[in-house]
Structure 1
């Protein structure tokens, strides 16, 4: 009897599922002329299917298995563009003239050209609601360019983005794979309610750029970007106004800098030299970043975490926890203010405060810099707390670096390697900070490093608890200059540091 009931229920479930699918708004691009043969331009047919769905109030535009050579696709409101398993949406070569021209932009630009233009993309949409791109198929950028025009250079750009959405609400991009995505694999600007989930991106420039967006979740994504940043929140002037990127969650993601294509094929070939591939906030940062969490992410063969506020915006209420890093270039943690001020308001002042970073493990770290925390001489970072960090530096630093007059970032591009020298401490370098707490920090090196473990200068309120470090014989564990209100606890390696020894 129980078997009969189970069989009957199973039949009913299958029947209901079939009927629901049959009656759902569903538009197969092949019914609108798409060939999927990898040779015929199919974006015209795909756009016809989208138009038909939009005319009827929306629905799923379905791309079955096949290779769809394509130029610009115009996504619309209430459309789910569904790439089925075995589907490859292939970006057409530039010389086929299949992409839309860049839109006209009025007024001076204060961001890279890639952030100014959206229509020159494989898939783009503007001022839309309820947009989704889903399925287990692949977008192969193919002919998309990894280059774009720079700010104010006047050059004509090329199609350079796989997906570009501007001023859209309720956006879902889920389950797809993007290979060789161009300058941006995904660019969302001025969007609200954005969910990016379970994506695999293996690309030649930026993976995911979240610009001037509110209420965004990036989860369960694997992003490999050896030549640029993997996950990159920004806050540019692309909307013609300052707008914060806020209420942002990045969780359960993996970022890396393997050779392009080797994440997807599983060979995971390390880069030759340094690779970006990181999570970076900035550099475009007119509005800034507020109410942000980053958690449970891994970094491999790439730069570490970067928080860069250099264009006069606000960077505040940031919590970051549970990061695991290995084979890290340049630094594991970098927090900086700068004075680039690429902003129409010449009186802008960068602000960085209320930042908590905890539970970080990093091994095989480049000797260029360790934990790097820097404000500016006139505008301090405020209320910074770094806790429960363990990392191992490559080491090899020279003793002379502990007395170097380490350069200020000033108006320069905010990267440590631009400062022309390794930092004067291999573990922690902090300068121009108000209220800095360092709790349970353990730093080590593989090759002997003759720099101090920690170097702090111009700090107003410094508290260090449970600081452990390997220190070369004859080298001071710490150098402290211009420190006010200095407290240390449970840190024997710093026992020789007293108020009268602070320089």
Structure 2
């Protein structure tokens, strides 16, 4: 090989100075950029330092960073580079074809001053639209890199939330604080690898977006009230994978009409709920391979008024130290805090399956040590169970549980077990039991107004003795229970309670511990209740009849 000339070496160095790759950005972390903005445009990289940004954690860089974003957009797209350092900023607008790259060691820090934030231009009002970073009608927008976006949310803590919880309707709520992200009507949006923390409000709000890909994002959002993780409204083709979310409020709330959504290989922890659905026309949603831990207020929660909800699957999910763990409420009306859909002439909730679920349920919520404010514990969260709650002439349809094992803390009382008149409340699963204080009348599952209920290989147990039935069915029709394994208690009046239900088949039922009575059959409208086979030896008595029930409705074959 011939020896390179000095001019060749020089030209190569000059060329390398214009090429943008993450490795070069990291290697030059300690250097101050000396490129002019027009040189950056040639390379396709828009280093915010070229526009006057300083990473000292003190200088307000809003105008400089926005100038870099605007220049990148005007050039037809490219990469806006946030180099190592702490860059303080207020509201920023992201745009089409911009890749917002956070280098390792980079932190974009939200200003602690309210005057440095604005509402997003074009973002519709509702639930607050003050924001740190936002985009409206953007396409092919990406946020990526190993750096951090910190909302400085503790600076906005007032001790007051937005008051959008059960029965509050937002009255007197605190909405004047920035969300970390809002994306409105964006298409082909990608978030990869970044660490997002300490929002003053929700972390990521997606409103009417399509084709969203979120992968490898970590969220730690626990410094303020209503610290949601992901909050979606009427989005389509959303795919979340390999994320870790620790937050204070809903970890993955899906309101309105969300369709074609997948969530997989993620871990979640929060005070209130993980997968929260309400109203609208939500359809075709698949959630799989997720770990849920230290979560209260019910990990999987559907509270629907006048809604069209169908085709949800939850598979291969582990829940550790939760309350709930599953709650579905359906009222058929629009007066329960749910998003209303006018196109649903007849509302429905149907075709929801739970497969491969392992859960441990605690007696009541346990405070998270890293949440610095107290949180109310609802009476209905204590001694909780799976709740399937339809109301009036509205039914949950085709609900199935396959290969499900739930271990409850237990401790339920006879007073709880004696509840027969359950309030007609569907806004929150625990609201049902708050209205009649003391918790649900079953330790394992309570189902009312369900058509097409299937349990296959389901095991329900408790740690501390529980005086409630394992399962209570009230006005349930067309149900099949195969391989149901239930722990009994000699203090409970019965292991099962069935009220005014019909066409119920139990096959291969197994009683795990002695109980006084297998079945309490109540009400005059029972019909076609059958037990076929199984191991029922540990029940001292097979059935008792009350409240107008008679033996014509029941067949037991062993």
TM (normalized to structure 1)? Answer: 0.83
SS at match of 1:60: strand
Distance, in Å, in 1 between the alignment partners of 2:193 and 2:452 is 43
Conserved? CA contact 1:309–1:350, under 8 Å? no
Gap change, CA 1:171 and 1:432, over 3 Å in 2: same
Alignment-derived partner of residue 359 in structure 1: 356
Structure 1 residue 449 and structure 2 residue 443: aligned?
no
Aligned Cα root-mean-square deviation (Å): 2.8
Residues 423-438 of structure 1 aligned to structure 2 (within 5 Å): 423-438=440-455
Which of 160, 163, 173 is the equivalent residue of 2:178? Answer: 160
Which of 284, 289, 295 is the equivalent residue of 2:282? Answer: 289
Distance, in Å, in 2 between the alignment partners of 1:172 and 1:477 is 50
Alignment-derived partner of residue 264 in structure 2: 251
Gap change, CA 1:76 and 1:313, over 3 Å in 2: same
Distance, in Å, in 2 between the alignment partners of 1:290 and 1:431 is 23
What is the Cα deviation at residue 131 of structure 1?
0.9
Alignment-derived partner of residue 240 in structure 2: 218
Deviation per CA, 1:311-333, whole angstroms, max 9, x where unpaired?
A: 3121100111011011112x112
Instruction: Structure 1: state its 5+ residue gaps.
Output: 1-14, 236-243, 258-274
Deviation per CA, 1:390-443, whole angstroms, max 9, x where unpaired?
A: 111111101232221353343644534534331111011111101101111111
Distance, in Å, in 2 between the alignment partners of 1:453 and 1:16 is 69
Gap change, CA 1:30 and 1:409, over 3 Å in 2: farther
Alignment-derived partner of residue 472 in structure 1: 489
Conserved? CA contact 2:119–2:131, under 8 Å? no
Structure 1 residue 234 and structure 2 residue 255: aligned?
yes
Alignment-derived partner of residue 84 in structure 2: 65
Deviation per CA, 1:339-372, whole angstroms, max 9, x where unpaired?
A: 4355485997541001111111112433522221
Alignment-derived partner of residue 335 in structure 1: 328
Distance, in Å, in 1 between the alignment partners of 2:290 and 2:419 is 34
SS at match of 2:116: coil
Alignment-derived partner of residue 422 in structure 2: 407
Deviation per CA, 1:113-164, whole angstroms, max 9, x where unpaired?
A: 42xx43x110011111111111111111104746458667588842321010
SS at match of 1:54: helix
Distance, in Å, in 2 between the alignment partners of 1:18 and 1:45 is 21
Conserved? CA contact 2:385–2:443, under 8 Å? yes
Distance, in Å, in 1 between the alignment partners of 2:458 and 2:147 is 44
Alignment-derived partner of residue 84 in structure 1: 103
Residues 80-479 of structure 1 aligned to structure 2 (within 5 Å): 80-95=99-114, 97-101=115-119, 113-114=126-127, 117-118=128-129, 120-143=130-153, 145=156, 147-148=161-162, 153=171, 157-204=175-222, 205-225=227-247, 227-235=248-256, 244-257=257-270, 275-276=271-272, 278-283=273-278, 285=279, 287-303=280-296, 304-329=298-323, 331-338=324-331, 339=333, 340-342=335-337, 343=340, 350-366=347-363, 368-410=383-425, 412-416=427-431, 418-419=434-435, 420-475=437-492, 476-479=494-497
SS at match of 2:118: coil
Distance, in Å, in 2 between the alignment partners of 1:20 and 1:432 is 61
Bigger radius of gyration, 1 or 2? 2
What count of residue pairs does the alignment treat as equivalent?
451
Distance, in Å, in 2 between the alignment partners of 1:20 and 1:42 is 22
SS at match of 1:282: strand
Distance, in Å, in 1 between the alignment partners of 2:304 and 2:92 is 35
What is the Cα deviation at residue 388 of structure 1?
0.9
SS at match of 1:449: coil
Alignment-derived partner of residue 369 in structure 2: none
Gap change, CA 1:401 and 1:152, over 3 Å in 2: closer
Gap change, CA 1:423 and 1:179, over 3 Å in 2: same
Distance, in Å, in 2 between the alignment partners of 1:102 and 1:50 is 15
Gap change, CA 1:170 and 1:75, over 3 Å in 2: same
Gap change, CA 1:502 and 1:180, over 3 Å in 2: farther
Gap change, CA 1:16 and 1:43, over 3 Å in 2: closer
Distance, in Å, in 1 between the alignment partners of 2:212 and 2:83 is 26
TM (normalized to structure 2)? Answer: 0.75
Gap change, CA 1:409 and 1:400, over 3 Å in 2: same
Alignment-derived partner of residue 500 in structure 1: 551
